[in-house]
Homo-oligomer: A and B are copies of this chain.
Amino acid sequence: MKILVTGFDPFGGEKINPAIESVKRLPEVIGGAQIVKLEIPTVVHQSLAVIREAIRKEDPDMILSIGQAGGRPDITVERVGINIDDCRIADNAGNQPVDEPIYPEGPDAYFVTLPIKAMVKAMQEAGIPASVSNSAGTFVCNHVTYGVRYLIETEFPGKRSGFIHIPYLPSQAATKKGMPSMELDTIVKGLTVAIEAMIEHQEDVKITGGTIC
């Protein structure tokens, strides 16, 4: 089995992005699966073009993308990507689309096709704060959550994909006010057990991870 794991480069004035840093530090093999690591630009569409090229070249079974969610206290596994770009800040190429569909011909949203509850459960059992998230935002992270699944539906049938958001590093939070953080080693450990759960669970487990609103 082969898993493509992508991480964004720094954006929004940050000098480092824990997403690509944690991806770089993942083992080469997890649960018997080969891990292919890919840095992607924090740019709408260009991020997807880079992933598409890697899927063509590597033919992975699953694609997992990692992004930074500054302000969240735990590792969050996204449930859904929505067909909209609505950017409060510009991406790394200066694009700032407002309420534009990612793929005009695509459906309104796609659920991720990874076992999100099993991934959360595995991280919690390993002592790592984790939860399901019902919104990946409307910036490049959501763009990739939705877009990779769109690529799969239109060009690479049968593959599974999903997205994990990670907190700031302590060094990033140290320059801000009241921001939670997580050590890179903890993030890497969390992603590793989450990937193990992805491999182990063809079907997701039934545990509530819902919110009232």
Residues of A within 8 A of B (CB): 12, 67-70, 72-74, 79-80, 82-89, 96, 98-99, 107-111, 117, 123-124, 126-131, 134-139, 141-142, 165, 170-171, 173-183, 185-186, 204, 206-213
Contacts and interface: CB of A to CB of B under 8 A. Distances in A.
Contacts of A177: 131
Contacts of A175: 124
A130 B117 CA distance: 32
A139 B211 contact: yes
A10 to B, nearest CB: 13
A100 to B, nearest CB: 9
A88 B211 contact: yes
Contact of A73 (B98, B141, B180, B206): B180
Contacts of A182: 170, 181
Given A73-B178, A107-B108, A177-B131, A212 B12 contact: yes
Given A98-B207, A210-B88, A174 B129 contact: yes
A98 B129 contact: no
